[in-house]
A and B are shown apart, each in its own frame.
Chain A
Amino acid sequence: MTDFKHKILDLLKEDARLSPQLIATMLGVTEAEVRAAIAEMENDHIILKYGTIVNWSKVDEEKVTSLIEVQITPERGRGFDAIAERIYLFPEVKSVYLMSGGYDLLVEIEGRNLREVASFVSSKLSTLESVLATKTHFILKKYKQDGVIFEEYEGDYRMLISP
C-alpha cells in the first residue's frame, strides 16, 4: 500500500469525521485525490466501517461483555474457518479470533446481562458439535480499547503563552 493511503488511514483512524477537503490540505494533495483513495479503500474492503468508540459504562443501559476461550476440532478440508463462521454469524458475537496457544478461538460476546451471555454459551456455543470445551471470562472494566483510554487522563497542562 502507498504511503499516501497509509497517512489517510492514520488520520481517519483517529477521527473518522475529517472531511476529504481537510485531509487533502493536511497532506498537501488535492481533494479529488483523497476522495479517490478513500473510495478505492472502501471498495477493497480496507475501510470497512466508520464507527464510534463508546464508553458504555457511562450509558444507562447495562451491558455485559465476556471473552470465551473455545477449543474445537478442526474440520477436514476447511480447518477452523467453517466452525468460526458458524460462530461469528450470531449477532451476539462481537469478534472472533483464531489463536495460537492453549485454545483455538477467542470469542467476544456482548449481552444485556450475565444470564443472557451464560445462556448463549450453554445453549448455542457449547452445543456445537466440534466445540470441545469453553472457558468464559467476564470483563469487569474496560481501561483501553482500540487505542483509546477510557478514563480521562493526561490533560493539557501547558501555559497558554510561552516564548
Chain B
Amino acid sequence: MDREDIMIETKKKSMQDYLSPLVKQIPPSGIRKFFDLVSNSKDKDIISLGVGEPDFVTPWHVREACVYSLEQGKTTYTSNAGLLELREAIAEYLDHGFQLSYNPLDQIVVTVGGSEGIDLALRALVEPGDEILIPEPTYVSYSPIAAITGGKPVGIETFAKDQFKLTAQSLKAAITPRSKILILCFPSNPTGATMTYEDLLPIARLVEEHDLLVISDEIYAELSYGQKHVSIASLPGMKDRTLVVSGFSKAFAMTGWRIGYMCGHPELIAAMLKIHQYTIMCAPVMGQIAALEALKSGLHDKDQMVESYNQRRRLVVQGFRDIGLSCHEPYGAFYAFPSIQSTGLSSEQFAERLLMESKVAVVPGHVFGKGGEGFIRCSYATSVSQLTEAIERIGYFIQKLKNV
C-alpha cells in the first residue's frame, strides 16, 4: 500500500464516526424544534407563553452592585467554591427560609447556574448502568445528562389527577436493584406542581428503604403560592441523602447571570468540587457579587415579584377554565399546564396550529417526557395585557376547532 492509499483510507472516516456514541444517542430536543419554528416566523404579533424565565429585569440595586464592583476592578477568579461571603449568605438564607442548615466551608459550592449542579452531580455519582429515576413531565435536561454519564434514565409518569405530584405508589413501581438516584424538580417546570411535607414523607421513606440518593432541583422554591416550599432535605434522615441544587435565576430574576449553588454531604460536595475546579474553575465573580447583593437586600423585591406571579397565575388558570380547558391548580413556578385533550389534537399539532393560526406560542407537553402528551406549557411570566390577549386568542382558536 502506498502513501496515497493511506490518505484516502483516513478520509473515509466522517465526523459522525468521531462523535461519542453516548452523545449521539441523545435524541434532538423537542423544544428546539419548536424554538426554530417560532424564531423563524418574523411575525411581530406573536404572543409567547413559551418563555421559561421571569419577565422582570434584575432589580437595579443588584445590577448597580455589579457595575460598582467592575469599576473597582474586581475582575479576578474567586475560590473554586465561590466567594466565602456569598456561601455564608446562602447558608443563612437557606437556614431562615427553608430550615436547611449547611456549613458554608464544605457543604456549599457556587456554580454556573443550577444546571451545572445537575451535571456535576450526575458525573460524580453515576456508573454505567445505574438507573436514574425521573418523575415526568419534567425539565428537559435531566434525562440527556443522565444518559451522557452512561446512566439509564427511567421516567416515572405523573398524572393530572394527582396534580402531577410524584406518588409513593409509582415511585415504588419504578425502583429496581439498579436504581441509584431520584431527581426531583418541585415546584415543577413544566407542570407547576409542588410537593407538601405530607406528599414528601412517603417518598422519603422509600428513598431510605432502598438506599437511594436524591438530587433535588429547587430552583423554583421561592415561587410557591399559598404555602412555603418544603425541601425534601429538611425531612428526617434526608439531609445526607439529598443534594439540593438551586440558584438565583428564577427567584431574583437573574437568569442571564448564571449563578447557582449546590449543597449536600461534604464528601459528595468534595467530589463535585473536584470536577468543578478542573472544568469551570469558579463561577464568574461579577455574578457572584450581584448574587450577594440580591441576598443582602433583595428579599423584598423577591416577595413583590412572587405576589405579582401569583396574581397572574390566578388570571391564567381562571382564563383557561373559562375557555373550556381543564387546568389543574399549579401551586408553584410560573407555568400553567392545561390539558388540550378535549380538542382531539396532539399537543404538537395543537401548539403548531395555535402558533400559525392564532399567533400564540406555547410549548407542547410531550417534549417534557412521559405524561406530557395532551398538555401545553404556558408561562405566565408576561404582562397582564399579553396574558389576557393570549387567552382570548386561544379561546377563539378552540371555538374554531369545534365549529369545523
Q: Are A162 and B55 in contact (CB under 8 A)?
A: no
Q: How distant is the Cα of A7 from the Cα of B38 in the complex, in angstroms? A: 36
Shortest Cβ distance from A42 into chain B, in angstroms?
Answer: 22
Q: Are B314 and A161 in contact (CB under 8 A)?
A: no
Q: How distant is the Cα of A25 from the Cα of B388 in the complex, in angstroms? A: 12
Interface residues of B in 303-318 (CB under 8 A from A): 307, 311-312, 314-315, 318
Candidates A11, A28, A154, A159; contact of B314 at CB < 8 Å: A28
Q: Are B51 and A15 in contact (CB under 8 A)?
A: no
Q: Which residues of A contact B189 (CB under 8 A)?
A: 163
Q: Are B51 and A26 in contact (CB under 8 A)?
A: no
Q: Is B384 an interface position by the 8 A CB rule?
A: yes
Q: Is A158 an interface position by the 8 A CB rule?
A: yes
Q: Are B51 and A162 in contact (CB under 8 A)?
A: yes
Interface residues of B in 41-92 (CB under 8 A from A): 46, 48, 50-53, 55, 57
Q: Is A47 an interface position by the 8 A CB rule?
A: no
Contact with B along A87-127 (1 / 0, CB 8 A): 00000000000000000000000000000000000000000
Q: How distant is the Cα of A26 from the Cα of B380 in the complex, in angstroms? A: 12
Q: Are A26 and B361 in contact (CB under 8 A)?
A: no
Q: How distant is the Cα of A15 from the Cα of B141 in the complex, in angstroms? A: 39
Name the residue of chain A whose CB is nearest to the CB of B304. Answer: A10
Q: Are B39 and A162 in contact (CB under 8 A)?
A: no
Q: A160-B46, A160-B51, A163-B140 are in contact. Are A26 and B315 (CB under 8 A)?
A: yes
Q: How distant is the Cα of A156 from the Cα of B35 in the complex, in angstroms? A: 17
Contact with A along B130-155 (1 / 0, CB 8 A): 00000000011100000000000000
Name the residue of chain A whose CB is nearest to the CB of B381. Answer: A158
Q: Are B39 and A22 in contact (CB under 8 A)?
A: no
Q: Which of A11, A18, A25 has the most CB of B within 10 A?
A: A25
Q: A26-B315, A156-B55, A158-B51 are in contact. Are A163 and B38 (CB under 8 A)?
A: no
Q: Are A161 and B34 in contact (CB under 8 A)?
A: yes
Interface footprint category on B: 20 to 34
Candidates A15, A18, A156, A162; contact of B50 at CB < 8 Å: A162
Q: Are B139 and A161 in contact (CB under 8 A)?
A: no
Contact with B along A12-33 (1 / 0, CB 8 A): 0001001000100111100000
Q: A22-B388, A25-B315 are in contact. Are A163 and B46 (CB under 8 A)?
A: no
Interface residues of B in 296-340 (CB under 8 A from A): 307, 311-312, 314-315, 318-319
Shortest Cβ distance from B390 into chain A, in angstroms?
Answer: 13
Q: Is B31 an interface position by the 8 A CB rule?
A: yes
Q: A15-B384, A18-B384, A154-B57 are in contact. Are A161 and B31 (CB under 8 A)?
A: yes
Q: How distant is the Cα of A28 from the Cα of B48 in the complex, in angstroms? A: 25
Q: How distant is the Cα of A156 from the Cα of B48 in the complex, in angstroms? A: 12
Q: Which residues of A contact B39 (CB under 8 A)?
A: 159-161
Shortest Cβ distance from A125 into chain B, in angstroms?
Answer: 37
Q: How distant is the Cα of A18 from the Cα of B387 in the complex, in angstroms? A: 13
Q: Which of A11, A27, A159, A161 has the most CB of B within 10 A?
A: A161
Q: How distant is the Cα of A25 from the Cα of B391 in the complex, in angstroms? A: 14
Name the residue of chain B whose CB is nearest to the CB of A158. Answer: B51
Q: How distant is the Cα of A156 from the Cα of B253 in the complex, in angstroms? A: 13
In the assembled complex, 8 residue pairs joining A and B whose CB atoms fall closer than 8 Å, in A order, are: A18-B384, A22-B388, A26-B312, A28-B314, A156-B55, A160-B38, A161-B35, A162-B50
Which 5 pairs of residues, A with B, have the shortest CB-CB distance? A26-B311, A161-B50, A161-B35, A160-B48, A162-B52
Other than the given A159-B35, A160-B48, 13 more pairs (CB < 8 A) read A22-B388, A25-B314, A26-B311, A26-B312, A26-B314, A158-B55, A160-B35, A161-B39, A161-B48, A161-B50, A162-B51, A163-B31, A163-B52
